Amino acid sequence: MLTLYFSGTGNSKYLAERFSEIMGGDCYSIEEEVDFENLITTASTIAFSYPIYGSCVPQILREFVTKNKNYLNEKKLIIFCTQAMFSGDGARVFIELLEGINFEVIYAEHFNMPNNIGNIPVLPIKNREQIKKAFKKVDKKLYKTCENIKNEVIKKRGFNAFSKGLGFYSQRKYFLKSEERKKKDVKISPDCIACSKCVEVCPMKNLQVIDKKIEQKGKCTLCYRCVNICPNKAITVLIHSKVKKQYKGVDGKLFENVK
């Protein structure tokens, strides 16, 4: 079993690593510099874990899958989407990237995990106790999921027409429309001290420091790492209202090692 993941702020990484620990095999972030062609072609079953963005697969993972699609031919796939609340068909939408190849989805599931967007009032960032509780629930669901997979139970969350319609009409339709514009729409407030932590963590290498100012290159994947790491809450993407609270991951230490 090979497990691959993209994770902006640690939730999908947590899930992928726990899953791989239980099921065995290797686990890699798509940001790592490894020989993915070799890893994918030698595995028979591949699990993917990723956060859902407006019922869409993150741009960075879409690019990865497009690049490596042919190696996924004839593979068995397990698809895990992590979400704060709702995606409709967040796991199913992944297979839209695989048109033209043969594959078999043996399991697809959605995992509710803490929200990582700290500037939408309707869904505030949870406190430590709530986050702990949420991850306990995830552990329980993941354990059950692994049992099912071991017992060859097939489940495809979100693969019916109703879920597809929900995902598309409630979110994807609008999210895809604004995505191109949002790629170039990182906003830096005057509170920025150009510490360059955001530059360090950006998975797209979208940010750089020029003349003591953070500049963007127009390829933001909306992962929210920069928003959540900024010591002055001076950077926003997607939504530009003031960041109230930042998400620091499962243990509250998400960015502690970033200099």
In angstroms, the CA 155 to CA 179 distance is 30
Told to check if 12 binds ligand FMN by CB under 6 A, we report yes
Q: Give how many residues touch ligand FMN by CB under 6 A.
A: 26
Binding string, 33-52, against ligand FMN, x = CB under 6 A? ------------------xx
Given 20, 116, 163, 236, the residue binding ligand FMN (CB under 6 A): 116
Q: Which is nearer to ligand FMN, 50 or 71 (CB)?
A: 50
Q: How far is the CB of 210 from ligand FMN (least distance, A)?
A: 26
Q: How far is the CB of 233 from ligand FMN (least distance, A)?
A: 16
Query: Which 220-239 positions form the footprint of ligand FMN (CB under 6 A)?
Result: 222-224, 238
Query: Which 193-222 positions form the footprint of ligand FMN (CB under 6 A)?
Result: 222
CA dihedral for 108, 109, 115, 116, sign (positive or negative): negative
Q: Which is nearer to ligand FMN, 71 or 111 (CB)?
A: 111
Residue in this structure with the two tokens 């797209």, named with its chain if needed: 204
Query: Which 61-100 positions form the footprint of ligand FMN (CB under 6 A)?
Result: 82-87
Q: Which is nearer to ligand FMN, 5 or 71 (CB)?
A: 5
Q: Which is nearer to ligand FMN, 107 or 247 (CB)?
A: 247
In angstroms, the CA 55 to CA 142 distance is 21
Q: Which is nearer to ligand FMN, 82 or 163 (CB)?
A: 82
Q: How far is the CB of 238 from ligand FMN (least distance, A)?
A: 5
In angstroms, the CA 166 to CA 98 distance is 21
Q: How far is the CB of 48 from ligand FMN (least distance, A)?
A: 12
Q: How far is the CB of 92 from ligand FMN (least distance, A)?
A: 14
SS3 of the chain: CEEEECCCCCHHHHHHHHHHHHHCCEEEECCCCCCHHHHHHHCCEEEEEEECECCECCHHHHHHHHHHHHHHCCEEEEEEEEECCCCCCCCHHHHHHHCCCCEEEEEEEEEECCCCCCCCCCCCCCCHHHHHHHHHHHHHHHHHHHHHHHCCCCEECCCCHHHHHHHHHHHHHHHHHHHHHHCCCCEECCCCCCCCHHHHHCCCCCEEEECCEEEECCCCCCCCHHHHHCCCCCEECCCCCCCCCCCCCCCCCCCCCCC
Q: Which is nearer to ligand FMN, 193 or 239 (CB)?
A: 239
Given 1, 4, 9, 198, the residue binding ligand FMN (CB under 6 A): 9
Q: Where along the sequence are the contacts to ligand FMN (CB under 6 A)?
A: 7-12, 51-55, 82-87, 113, 115-117, 171, 222-224, 238
